[in-house]
Chain A
């Protein structure tokens, strides 16, 4: 049990436990709050896997962007004074049975496959250079398409969320 093992189990425990809270908490704010820890745990695992750039981008995009948006959604769709922030669940037992079956099949596949993996090397330099190089050579078309996708999403979100014009 060396230091990497301990760190792995720590982050894995944080991630799984907080993911569990996201699903089970009855208060939406607690769900959002524990989702924060899930994202942190995942970022820690990325660092452990040697993907430092992706880890920081995870913090910037998920924690700094998406989760803030979700929090805004929670705050704007729930009245502050009347506590309507708790929600219920539906069809718990069949859902859990189904997903348990799915998880079992996935784990069976993962453990049964013979992965031809080499030991992960910890890069001494940052991965940003390698990533930037691939992004602008091999995957440049997808990169441009993503730019267009983001533009469409921006326009779409602004159009859907804004109030109707009074004249129409």
Chain B
């Protein structure tokens, strides 16, 4: 039996999400921003699994499955873009990638 109330998992997930958002906002390196997005996705997954487990239904875990697939696709395309940018500009700092800004 799990005696931990569901709020604990949700609060943990909220904190992780906040840490992830902070990372996206403050870091310069595109790859670290990327990692922070993964943190945010993971915190969402944690909340979904917690809901699924406390509701006694597997549907929440299916959504986690979908989120993971999308995250994998996103990682592949995102890193390809980062490497393409690095090849052209020799930097992955997002404040230096500003050719659209005039």
On whether A and B touch (CB less than 8 Å), the answer reads: yes
The number of residue pairs between A and B whose CB atoms lie closer than 8 Å in the complex comes to 234
Q: Is the CB of B66 within 8 A of A115?
A: no
Q: Is the CB of B14 within 8 A of A22?
A: no
Q: A5-B4, A70-B34, A150-B72 are in contact. Are A99 and B10 (CB under 8 A)?
A: no
Q: How far is the CB of A85 from chain B (nearest CB, A)?
A: 9
Q: Is the CB of B31 within 8 A of A110?
A: no
Q: Is the CB of B84 within 8 A of A110?
A: no
Q: How far is the CB of B9 from chain A (nearest CB, A)?
A: 7
Q: Which of A80-138 contact B (CB under 8 A)?
A: 87-92, 95-96, 98-100, 102-103, 106-107, 110-111, 115, 117-122, 127, 130-131, 134-135, 138
Question: Does A10 lie at the interface of the complex (its beta carbon under 8 Å from any beta carbon of B)?
Answer: no
Q: Is the interface of B mostly helix, strand, loop or mixed?
A: helix
Chain A interface extent, by class:
35 or more
Q: Within the assembled complex, what's the spacing in Å between the Cα atoms of A53 and B27?
A: 34
Within 8 Å CB of A110, what residues of B? 7, 10-11, 14
Q: Within the assembled complex, what's the spacing in Å between the Cα atoms of A2 and B5?
A: 14
Interface residues, chain B, with chain A CB atoms under 8 Å away: 1-12, 14-23, 25-29, 31-32, 34-36, 38-39, 42, 45-46, 49-50, 52-56, 58-59, 61-62, 64-66, 68-77, 79-84, 86, 92-93, 95
Cβ-neighbour of A70 out of B9, B27, B75 (below 8 A): B75
Chain B residue at minimum C-beta to C-beta distance from A154: B76
Q: How far is the CB of B44 from chain A (nearest CB, A)?
A: 11
Q: Is the CB of A87 within 8 A of B58?
A: no
> Mind listing 8 A-B residue pairs with CB under 8 Å?
A61-B71, A69-B75, A77-B92, A87-B93, A98-B25, A119-B2, A119-B54, A146-B66
